[in-house]
Amino acid sequence: MNRAGFKKLLLLPSFTGKEAKAHGIDPHVLPYYVKTGVLERVARGIYRNPNVTTDAPFEIQDLLETAQSIPEGTICGVSALNYYGLTLEVPRKFWIAVPHAIGTPRRPKTKILRMRNLSLGRMPLKVDQYQTYIFDRERSVVDAFRYLSIESAIHSLKEYLKPTKDHKPDIAKLGKYACALRVNVSPYLTALA
């Protein structure tokens, strides 16, 4: 076993069996470390050091761990809207978008959406030691019209249109995304303007 690689893994907030293998650790030994208390099994194929502390907000740590365990995945839907404060819905599942070309990953409490236009609005998200991807506000609002009830989508659009100190609505970008994803949001924008 690669001791230096194992020490690096123990510094991460969470890691997958695939990442362990990349660090020179046989994934078959991970259950032993779980049994002895060195590691904690978060979900199938996801492990963490129970002694590592993180400054990431408690309410999104599980989401970040799940999203990070799917390298091709992107936080989307209700999870992204909730992250940006654009919805009143409390996500009961983590919403993760994946490309059509990969197999469907299985994670507990996770809704996997297979999407073709995954690069549109995809941006890196780094919170403390977690590194993953999330759709930007505009893509999340347009996707609300695709995947959620009309009431939820309109509420997200209303919240998006309210300027804050760290967010200014970009109607042109929203329209560009809506056009690319074939969603007609212009009647709602007209009604809310």
pLDDT in tens, 55-79: 676 678 888 888 888 878 999 999 9
Measure CA 49 to chain center.
21
Burial of 153 (0-12, 13-18, 19+ CB in 10 A): buried
Q: Binning pLDDT at 50, 70 and 90, where does residue 129 land?
A: confident
- Enter the pTM of the model: 0.80
Name residues whose C-beta falls within 8 Å of residue 97's C-beta, 6 or more positions apart in sequence. Answer: 73, 74, 75, 76, 77, 112, 113, 114, 115, 118, 135
Domain ranges within the chain, ordered by starting residue: 3-48, 58-192
Least confident of 80-89, 98-107, 150-159, 170-179: 98-107
Q: What tokens does 46 get?
A: 């996801």
